[in-house]
């Protein structure tokens, strides 16, 4: 069954906009879990623009499903991850000026450093996933550095229109097939919403989708619990279709 990881950074972004103590991302995480989220995702950025160190510690104590920490390979952040021990770490590229993560990690180029970080995290029992573009050379390099999972970057697909959207979808499907063939677990995320999630949710090998912005945006109108239930519904509907296809 396809899983949903909910990224709660955007709750912390709202809190930080007024430097208040609310809305509390930990309370939000609890509500996400009660409403059907299979994991909680947060990104401790070097500039601490949303999630703070204290949030991460509190999340570690309160998350009952799976805590997935998005993180760069920066030494300070790696040290924190080794101390806090999330269930999973997803390595992402990070640039100070970006609005959100832009593109996947270049595992081919930074193979040596990534390999070192993967090993350190795994030594502490942390499952490692690498957020990469749907390219075979990046998938192969991810396997070579020993990651258990990749998370395919769906941002280009989400932003594309017309024929290029179909082209991007084909690239993602091909990437899934290749990753599965070389025994990597496959997750996906970035820019997914209630409409564009359908074709991605239908790809059989994907285990988990990580979604944040569209859910938190919808929660302004329908509440967080309902926003999650609606996303699960959109995914489950497609999940049934993919199960049906697999049985044909
Ligand atoms: N996966 C990764 C690796 C991300 O960096 C993000 C954004 O924080 C997401 C998934 C979720 O993206 P969105 O907020 O666009 O749903």
191 lines ligand 1 (CB under 6 A): yes
**In this structure, how many other beta carbons lie within 10 angstroms of the beta carbon of residue 30?**
17
Strand-pairing partners, residue 68, are 41, 88
| Contacts (Cβ under 8 Å, ≥6 apart) of 97 | none
Gap from CA of 247 to ligand 1 centroid (Å): 32
For residue 90, report the distance from its CA to the centre of ligand 1, in Å.
11
Question: What residues have CB less than 8 Å from 147, skipping those under 6 apart?
Answer: 118, 128, 129, 130, 184
pTM metric for this prediction:
0.94
Strands (E), 25-119: 39-43, 67-71, 88-91
104 Cβ inside 6 Å of ligand 1: no
Helix, strand, coil percentages (3-state) for the chain, rounded to 5, are 50, 15, 35
Tens place of pLDDT for every residue, the chain, 248 residues?
999 999 999 999 999 999 999 999 999 999 999 999 999 999 999 999 999 999 999 999 999 999 999 999 999 999 999 999 999 999 999 876 677 667 899 999 999 999 999 999 999 999 999 999 999 999 999 999 999 999 999 999 999 999 999 999 999 999 999 999 999 999 999 999 999 999 999 999 999 999 999 999 999 999 999 999 999 999 976 656 566 656 65
Catalytic residues: 43, 70, 190
In order of start, what are the domains of the chain with their CATH numbers? Answer: 3-246 (3.20.20.70)
């Amino acid at each position: 069954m396809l899983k949903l990881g909910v990224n709660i950074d955007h709750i912390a972004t709202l809190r930080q906009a007024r430097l208040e103590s609310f809305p509390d991302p930990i309370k939000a995480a609890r509500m996400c879990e009660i409403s059907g989220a299979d994991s909680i995702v947060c990104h401790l950025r070097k500039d601490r623009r949303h999630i703070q160190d204290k949030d991460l510690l509190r999340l570690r104590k309160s998350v009952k499903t799976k805590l997935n920490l998005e993180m760069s390979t920066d030494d300070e952040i790696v040290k924190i991850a080794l101390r806090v021990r999330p269930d999973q770490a997803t390595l992402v590229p990070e640039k100070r000026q970006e609005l959100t993560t832009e593109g996947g990690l270049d595992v081919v180029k930074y193979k040596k450093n990534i390999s070192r970080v993967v090993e350190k995290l795994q030594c502490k029992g942390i499952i490692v996933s690498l957020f990469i573009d749907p390219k075979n050379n990046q998938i192969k390099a991810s396997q070579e550095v020993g990651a258990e999972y990749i998370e395919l970057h769906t941002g280009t697909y989400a932003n594309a229109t017309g024929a290029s959207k179909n082209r991007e979808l084909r690239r993602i499907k091909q990437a899934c097939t290749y990753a599965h063939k070389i025994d990597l677990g496959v997750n996906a995320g970035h820019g997914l919403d209630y409409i564009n999630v359908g074709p991605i949710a239908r790809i059989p090998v994907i285990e988990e989708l990580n979604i944040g912005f569209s859910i938190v945006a919808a929660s302004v109108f329908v509440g967080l619990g309902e926003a999650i239930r609606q996303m699960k519904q959109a995914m489950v509907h497609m999940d049934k279709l993919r199960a049906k296809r697999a049985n044909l």
